[in-house]
Amino acid sequence: MLRAEDYNALGAFRHAMRKFLRFSKEVLAEADLTPEQYEALLAIKSRSRANGLNIRDLSEQLQIRHHSAVNLVNKLAARRMIFRKRAAADRREVLVKLSSSGEGDLARLAAIHRQEIRRRSAEMIEALQRLQK
């Protein structure tokens, strides 16, 4: 059974996350990116192998359907933030990688997000620690 302190901690954590997500949405809007597009760029950067990341793995990382991942890839490719290529082993498989401009944009946005997370992390960690009790 949950106690009043549990509800307070859950509410505090959700509130801290909400503030961070609002901040993120505003920063991304200035860069003309959606949160989903930013998350896709992060996934491509963090999960790519030497040859890139396939669409199936991107959709799994983002927890979205395959066709939604394809749509994100199409939009990011149109902006030249990523590029696609066929896998050497299986020409049916499409791999995506960040372009040099995508790398630069992501680095700038990730630094801003990291700074904000560092600023807000004590509040989030404190709420999570209260939930562990």
**Could you tell me the CATH number of the domain that includes residue 123?**
1.10.10.10
Q: What is the mean pLDDT of residues 77-89?
A: 90
Q: What is the mean pLDDT of residues 59-73?
A: 97
Query: What letter would DSSP give residue 81?
Result: S
Domain count, the chain: 1
CA distance 115 to 78: 29
Q: Indicate left, alpha or beta for 96 from its phi (over 0: left) and psi (-120 to 50: alpha).
A: beta
- In tens, the pLDDT along 39-48 reads 999 999 999 8
pLDDT more than 90, % of the chain? 86
Domain enclosing residue 36, as ranges: 4-132
- Structure confidence at residue 91 (pLDDT): 74
CA distance 47 to 40: 10
